[in-house]
Amino acid sequence: MEVQILPLVLTKMEKLIIVDENDEEVGLKESEECHLNNGILHRASTIFIFNSEGELLITQRSKNKRLWAGIWESSCSTHVKEKENFVQSGERRVLEELGINSKLKFLYKFRYNAKFKNIGSENEICALLVGYWNGKIRPNLNEIADYKWISLEDLKKELEKYPKNYAPWTIIAFQGYLKSKIENKAITKGDYFREMGETSYKTKEKLFAILGNKIQNFLLNRDLFYFIKIRENKLWARPWVIRMAYELGNGKNWQELVEIMSIFELENISNYQSNAAFDKKYGIVDENSRMRQVIASFISRNLVQLMSEQIKDKTLSDLILKSICEIDFFNYYGQSYEYNELNIKNFNIDMSWEDYLKIYITRCFLYGGTWIKNCLSVGYQLSKENNNEIKGLLEGFGMYLGTGWMILNDITDYFIKAGKFGMNYKTALDEFKDIWNGRVTLPIFHALKKSSKEEKEFLLSILNNKIEKKDENIRKVFDILLKRGSLNFSYSVANYFRKKAKKLIGGLPNTKRAYLSIFADAIKSNKFIFEFRKLGLRTIKLSNEVNHFLNNLNINFVCK
């Protein structure tokens, strides 16, 4: 090992910066005094130097050191001198101890207090600084007995196996560095879909097992599993949302929540069952099939209640039941809006934009917003982290994003694609059901406001079931929505809520924010939206009237 002896810089008489718990400077005291007994809180920095191989330089403290002599630590550490900041102190020290000139970057700071035998203590607010160096190391023998380069994986194993061989500040700094490295990892859509797929698979496995044990009757099995089978090869968003919020709260083992995730997914399936019966969707058209799905929905909700009550932890059981009850209540409330206020039979087509949006956005909050809000809220609370500010941000994110998703769902109800062999649409499943069921959703209301007299009469005839459902009529509805910019308008409103949701999570840790951000951006990358864009779908500037309503919207008004 090549060595170079440099003058010893720190002396017993040297004064250190004394700080309070908020790292506010309160004075100066001599170094020796700062380390007696439990120590006096002062500033310090510890430095991680990496090479191009990603290895970390660690050093063994000189046996002449008063505290933690002979112990391995970071690349080097130092106290912050008067008139220095953290980075300046670190850049000074790497030259003094290691003989290198490396620019350092401040990563984060932490507070710790550690006692060394009966000799003294470190009581510091310590910054972790990071730099890079591929040249020679010229250690100061007054400070360093030995050094080596080590991989992060090997150091992690060393710290787990022999923690007493390492300085306490190095252990804390290393743990924080790994966490920061994870949190600042660039998250891709591949990561997003892989994690959602993993969560979906585990939840499906659990739900099939639960229903298989509880439902033995063949006919009930057939009706209950109808929608589970339809959704079997799809990604299940709600379980993943619960997992994401749980891990954001530093929950350690999401697979412990799989049964709870299956409860929420069964609740979701019960909504599919009732909605299909009401709207004649997914091939549930004749009276017998519709009644069977209504009964299946009742049974699913009963099973959700039973599964929630059987959770052994009473506090947890109550949390799930409260959340499910809120989802049920608001879903029923939302259905009431659909079959009353938004039904053409009770609808005033001359109402103002403000009056319409109060009804329509409330329905979207009730149907979509409360779902995502409750999944995020429950997941976060299951992590046992108690931060009401983060919980509130997640709930707001869920309300806004779920509303945007409901609007998106209303847009894609009018999906139609002109292909080589004619039109391609799924009228047997979901598309155009809103207008055939007389429901005035956002695209239709906009079209009624913007259309010619002839177009308006045509749309009203369809809403009132006075026109036969034929290909040319479906095509004409689509052409009116496209021509009058109704799809662009509705998409812009959905995008408004996407942006509102993303703005709320700006302060969350990067990894979790990235996953939630990709989830929100699915409003832009939905497969139907992708097809619509080929036909010119785009966001537009909303009118002052609409903007004023949206900007003054209180997401809590639906609960009043």
pLDDT at 341: 92
For residue 366, is it within any domain? yes
Place of tokens 């302060």: 507
Say if residue 426 is in the same domain as residue 506. yes
Domain boundary among 132, 160, 183: 183
Using a pLDDT cut of 70, give the percent of the chain over it.
91
pLDDT at 99: 93
Say if residue 57 is in the same domain as residue 198. no
Mean pLDDT across the stretch 407-431? 61
Q: Is 46 helix (H, G, I), strand (E, B) or coil?
A: strand
Mean pLDDT of the chain: 86
120-132 vs 42-50, strand pairing mode: parallel
Q: What tokens were used for 49?
A: 């130097």
Say if residue 420 is in the same domain as residue 471. yes
For residue 115, is it within any domain? yes
Say if residue 179 is in the same domain as residue 291. no
Say if residue 223 is in the same domain as residue 173. no
Say if residue 530 is in the same domain as residue 453. yes
Which region among 24-28, 127-131, 168-172 has the lowest average model confidence (pLDDT)?
24-28
Domain boundary among 139, 167, 183: 183
pLDDT at 513 over 90: no
For residue 1, is it within any domain? no
E strand or H helix at 228, and its extent? Answer: helix 218-230
Q: Bridge-partner residues for 79, per DSSP?
A: 44
Say if residue 179 is in the same domain as residue 193. no
Q: What tokens were used for 185?
A: 């990892």
For residue 82, is it within any domain? yes
Say if residue 112 is in the same domain as residue 198. no
For residue 253, is it within any domain? yes
How many residues in the chain? 560
Q: What tokens were used for 402?
A: 């779920």
Q: In terms of Cα–Cα distance, which of 515, 537, 442 is closest to 246? A: 515
Alpha-carbon span 161 to 188, nearest angstrom: 34
* CATH number for position 116: 3.90.79.10
Non-local (6+) Cβ contacts of 55 within 8 A are 149, 150, 151, 152
Q: Is 214 helix (H, G, I), strand (E, B) or coil?
A: helix
What total of structural domains would you count in the chain?
2
For the stretch 325-380, pLDDT in tens is: 999 999 888 888 888 999 999 999 999 999 999 999 999 999 899 999 999 999 99
Mean pLDDT across the stretch 38-63? 90
For residue 2, is it within any domain? no
Domain boundary among 167, 183, 199: 183
**165 pLDDT tier (thresholds 50, 70, 90):** very high
For the stretch 448-499, pLDDT in tens is: 999 999 999 999 999 998 887 777 888 899 899 999 999 999 999 999 999 9
Range of the domain at 480: 189-559
DSSP codes, 67-130: SSTT-EESSEEEEPPTT--HHHHHHHHHHHHH------EEEEEEEEEEEETTTEEEEEEEEEEE
pLDDT at 471: 76
E strand or H helix at 376, and its extent? Answer: helix 370-382
For residue 7, is it within any domain? no
For residue 195, is it within any domain? yes
E strand or H helix at 229, and its extent? Answer: helix 218-230
Say if residue 276 is in the same domain as residue 174. no
Contact 62, 142 (CB under 8 A): yes
Say if residue 114 is in the same domain as residue 199. no
pLDDT at 290: 86
Say if residue 141 is in the same domain as residue 231. no
Say if residue 209 is in the same domain as residue 123. no
Q: In terms of Cα–Cα distance, which of 31, 114, 28, 17 is closest to 73? A: 114
pLDDT at 13: 64
* CATH number for position 229: 1.10.600.10
